[in-house]
A = this chain, B = another copy of it.
Amino acid sequence: MTTDTRAAGDLLRLDRQICFSLHAASRAFNGVYRTVLADLGLTYPQYLVMLTLWEDDGLPVKEIGDRLRLDSGTLSPLLKRLETAGYITRRRSEHDERSVVITLTMAGDDLRAEAAGIPLRMAKATGLTLDELQTLRTLLTTVTENLDEADL
């Protein structure tokens, strides 16, 4: 195609910028969450797990991993820390001894109220409008799906 050379050039520069900007954005988000979550004694990935449990308590490790795309190598120690912090309990499933069911403790459930204000603070911190946030989410979701399917 006639536009290939120019388009390829654009892509080269763009990739470099996206490469940087995505990495930077991910870390910037993480940094702000770090600050916001410090009061609760949670890290960002731990917060993701708590969000999941606040929505559906009593999930097995596998299900949490599927929803958050995290494997046992990440979740096992993370959940151990949440257990030590007193926010969750772990017990083997009665139906399937291979599964470990994660349940919120009182303290873990109470944390929900304390965390209630976080999403709004974060959304405001991004400085984007609702529409822009929607667009961003859509693009990120699309990219993720495509990247997951891409076999190179």
Considering only residues 5-55 of chain A, those with a C-beta below 8 Å from chain B are 7-8, 10-12, 14-29, 31-32, 35-36, 44-45, 48, 51
Residue A85 CB within 8 A of the other chain: no
What's the tally of chain A residues with a CB closer than 8 Å to chain B? 61
A16 touches B51 (CB 8 A): yes
Q: Contacts of A143 on B, CB cut-off 8 Å?
A: 25, 28-29, 126-128, 136
B122 touches A19 (CB 8 A): yes
Residue A135 CB within 8 A of the other chain: yes
With beta carbons under 8 angstroms apart, the residue of B16, B28, B45 that contacts A144 is: B28
A68 touches B135 (CB 8 A): no
- Write the nearest CB–CB distance from A130 to chain B, whole angstroms: 6
Considering the complex, give the chain B residue whose CB is closest to the CB of A136. B139
Considering the complex, give the chain B residue whose CB is closest to the CB of A15. B119
A to B CB contacts below 8 Å, 20 in the list: A11-B120, A15-B122, A16-B51, A18-B136, A18-B137, A19-B122, A21-B141, A22-B29, A23-B26, A23-B44, A24-B144, A25-B141, A31-B147, A31-B148, A32-B150, A125-B146, A125-B147, A125-B150, A127-B147, A136-B140
